[in-house]
């Protein structure tokens, strides 16, 4: 059997006209986990925090220090979305490392070829998820830019009468598109390559001791990529909401 990690997520069933793939199913699980944690951690807020509230406070405090060092006075507006990006991506990455995700499934026959369809799949190994995250990031950045600079200031960043600045502005529009692709492909490539690596190490080589260093590598990569996505979104937001310093 040739173990092969499919590039696109496999469809499990349909709800009406809407196909549900295994990565959508895993995304629902990640979302439920995060919402449940948020609900239980903030139910009864005490001055001396209990266990879950303590963890939530540590999470928020760590990110508040990070965001305020870059954003300054706009921290309160940027903090929720940056922290959400980080925790959604890191919980998704780490859930994809659990035993059973990617390995428990069923066999399906597509015109003569038997393929393996897992029930759950690491969410960021699907380009749809990372593209959606990148779209949300870029739209949030531009929305906040319009909110802080006004429509005139926002358009003035890209279009101006001076021909040199006009050329620079057009290049910046192109760079916004490449930002979208680079954010999504960086995350997708890292996590998908990690999936292929773990599958190869677990099936083509000795499957007991050999995958252990690769699992540590994936722990590191999952954390770093989540941090990079959040930090890049933060830096782009800060740059786009700055008044013109030309």
Partner 1 sequence: MEIVLAKGAAIAIGGIGPALAIGLIGFKAMEAIGRNPEAQGKVLPAMLIGMAFAEAIAIYALILAFTG
Site string for partner 1, 158-177 (x = CB under 8 A): --------------------
Task: State which of residues 119, 189, 200, 214 lies at the interface with partner 1 (CB under 8 A).
Answer: 189
Q: Taking CB under 8 A as the rule, does residue 137 contact partner 1? A: no
Of the candidate residues 185, 200, 214, 215, the single one contacting partner 1 (CB under 8 A)? 185
Please tell me whether residue 151 binds partner 1 under the rule CB under 8 A.
no
Q: How far is the CB of 189 from partner 1 (least distance, A)?
A: 3
Q: Return the range that interacts with partner 1 (CB under 8 A); candidates 28-36, 106-114, 138-146, 219-227.
A: 219-227
Q: Which residues pair with 19 in a beta bridge?
A: 14
Nearer to partner 1 by Cβ, of 9 and 149: the residue is: 9
Indicate the residue among 6 and 29 with the shorter CB distance to partner 1.
6
Q: Which CB atom, from 22 or from 190, has the smaller least distance to partner 1? A: 190
Q: Which of residues 93 and 225 has its CB atom nearest to partner 1 in the complex? A: 225
With 0-12 CB in 10 A as exposed, 13-18 as middle and 19+ as buried, what is 59? middle
Minimum CB distance to partner 1, residue 232 (Å): 7
Residue 188 in the binding site for partner 1 (CB under 8 A): yes
Q: Does residue 190 interact with partner 1 by CB under 8 A? A: yes
192 lines the binding site for partner 1 (CB under 8 A): yes
Among the listed residues 90, 137, 96, 104, the one whose alpha carbon sits nearest the alpha carbon of residue 234? 137
Near partner 1 by CB under 8 A, which window of 12-20, 55-63, 114-122, 185-193?
Answer: 185-193
Footprint on this chain of partner 1 (rule: CB under 8 A): 7, 182, 185-186, 188-190, 192-193, 196, 224-225, 227-228, 231-232, 235
């Amino acid at each position: 059997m040739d173990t092969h990690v499919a590039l696109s997520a496999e469809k499990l069933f349909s709800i009406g006209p809407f196909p549900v793939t295994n990565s959508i199913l895993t995304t629902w699980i990640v979302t439920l986990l995060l919402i449940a944690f948020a609900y239980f951690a903030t139910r009864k807020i005490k001055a001396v925090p209990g266990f879950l509230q303590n963890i939530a406070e540590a999470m928020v405090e760590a990110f508040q220090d990070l965001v305020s060092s870059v954003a300054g006075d706009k921290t309160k507006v940027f903090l929720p979305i940056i922290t959400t990006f980080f925790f959604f991506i890191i919980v998704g990455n780490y859930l994809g490392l659990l035993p059973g995700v990617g390995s428990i499934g069923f066999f399906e026959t597509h015109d003569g070829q038997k393929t393996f369809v897992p029930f759950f799949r690491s969410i960021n190994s699907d380009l749809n998820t990372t593209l959606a995250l990148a779209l949300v990031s870029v739209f949030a950045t531009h929305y906040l830019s319009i909110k802080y600079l006004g429509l005139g200031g926002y358009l003035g960043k890209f279009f101006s009468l001076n021909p040199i600045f006009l050329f620079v502005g057009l290049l910046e529009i192109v760079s916004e598109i490449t930002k979208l692709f680079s954010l999504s492909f960086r995350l997708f490539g890292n996590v998908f390559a990690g999936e292929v690596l773990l599958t190869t190490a677990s099936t083509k080589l000795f499957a007991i001791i050999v995958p252990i260093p690769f699992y540590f590598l994936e722990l590191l990569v999952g954390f770093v990529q989540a941090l990079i996505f959040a930090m890049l979104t933060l830096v782009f937001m800060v740059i786009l909401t700055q008044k013109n310093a030309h």
